[in-house]
């Protein structure tokens, strides 16, 4: 029983660049011996990932463009993955989006289409990709997604993304219940604030990092590597008894009122 992922294949969705949390997850799984399959939405991310993948220990990565707002695209992507890789042993869902104008100001000003967009991309997509990946996980597996404290309680400016993350975290529990009988576990990692391209969309993000460094039990912010290591734990056999869980990798900040 160990942390090795030798001989196993994982799909990682949502690497944008080298600062992405998804890239921290990729590096941790690669070091443990995993073969990785990357999916990306935008061409530019694809170009970045192919360059980054050359720095991995395992040089057998695969790459697919996948727009998770399209059921057809998800279907196409996972049947292509089934063709090329056959069995996969897990999936890291690192995808979210909300309109920047709704990531600040009053929650009351959320629009109907802004609400639906945020929930479509940031929450429903986990259910959609889990359904498409299930047939490929014939040897069991581990699905992880990324969430944030703003889904559990009010964090100024997080607004509509908080509602979407609450939906995502509930989805983790219901998916865990459905997939447990197939030997597939479903968990979330609640990461503390990290300076990524996504974080740029949130008003006054820098003041939150400063507050974490002053108030969190560990008196510092976390980084992509620490989240990657917890992802490795959740993908490995060491977490075989854990499903439907939300692990906070946030310097302990969530315990502070
Ligand atoms: C006020 C909260 C401060 C800490 C926020 C930590 C965090 C950072 C980034 C997170 O991921 C996203 C992903 C997409 C997203 O929507 C965006 C991002 C950039 C541009 C844009 O138009 N939308 C906002 C946050 C996230 O869910 C949580």
Could you give the CA distance from residue 149 to residue 193 in angstroms, rounded to a whole number? 9
Residue nearest atom 8 in ligand 1 by C-alpha distance: 199
Whether pLDDT at 256 is above 90: yes
For residues 122 and 166, the answer to whether their CB atoms sit within 8 Å is: no
158 is catalytic: yes
Q: How far is the CA of 34 from the centre of ligand 1 (A)?
A: 28
pLDDT (mean) for 31-55: 97
For residues 168 and 115, the answer to whether their CB atoms sit within 8 Å is: no
174 is catalytic: no
Residue 174 pLDDT: 99
Which of 90, 183, 81 minimizes the C-alpha distance to 143? 90
Say if pTM beats, i.e. exceeds, 0.80.
yes
How many other β-carbons are positioned within 10 Å of the β-carbon of residue 186?
A: 27
> Per-residue confidence at 1, pLDDT binned at 50, 70, 90?
confident
CA 113 from centroid of its chain's CA atoms: 23
Residues in contact with ligand 1 by the CB-under-6-Å rule are 96-100, 103, 148, 150, 155, 157-158, 161, 193, 196, 198-202, 205, 208
> Per-residue confidence at 137, pLDDT binned at 50, 70, 90?
very high
Whether pLDDT at 176 is above 90: yes
For residues 94 and 146, the answer to whether their CB atoms sit within 8 Å is: yes
Could you give the CA distance from residue 66 to residue 74 in angstroms, rounded to a whole number? 6
Residue 207 pLDDT: 96
**Who contacts 206 (Cβ-Cβ below 8 Å, separation ≥6)?**
none
Residue 50 pLDDT: 98
DSSP 124: I
């Amino acid at each position: 029983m160990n942390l090795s992922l030798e001989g196993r294949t994982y799909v990682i969705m949502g690497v944008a660049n080298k600062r992405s949390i998804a890239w921290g997850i990729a590096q941790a799984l690669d070091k443990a011996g995993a073969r990785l399959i990357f999916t990306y939405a935008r061409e530019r991310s694809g170009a970045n990932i192919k360059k980054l993948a050359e720095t991995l220990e395992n040089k057998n990565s695969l790459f697919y463009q996948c727009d998770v707002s399209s059921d057809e695209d998800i279907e196409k992507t996972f049947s292509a993955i089934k063709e090329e890789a056959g069995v996969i042993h897990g999936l890291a869902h690192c995808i979210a989006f909300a309109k920047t104008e709704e990531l600040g100001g009053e929650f009351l000003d959320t629009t109907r289409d802004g609400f639906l967009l945020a929930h479509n991309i940031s929450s429903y997509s986990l259910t959609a990709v889990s359904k498409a990946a299930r047939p490929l996980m014939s040897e069991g597996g581990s699905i992880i997604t990324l969430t944030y404290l703003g889904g559990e309680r009010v964090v100024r400016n997080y607004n509509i993304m908080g509602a979407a993350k609450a939906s995502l975290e509930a989805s983790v529990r219901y998916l865990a219940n459905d997939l447990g009988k197939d030997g597939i576990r479903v968990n979330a990692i609640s990461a503390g604030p990290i300076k990524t391209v996504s974080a740029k969309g949130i008003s006054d993000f820098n003041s939150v990092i400063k507050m974490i460094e002053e108030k969190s039990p560990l008196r510092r912010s976390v980084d992509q590597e620490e989240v990657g290591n917890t992802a490795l734990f959740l993908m490995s056999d060491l977490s075989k008894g854990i499903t439907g869980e939300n692990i906070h990798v946030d310097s302990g900040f969530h315990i502070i009122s």
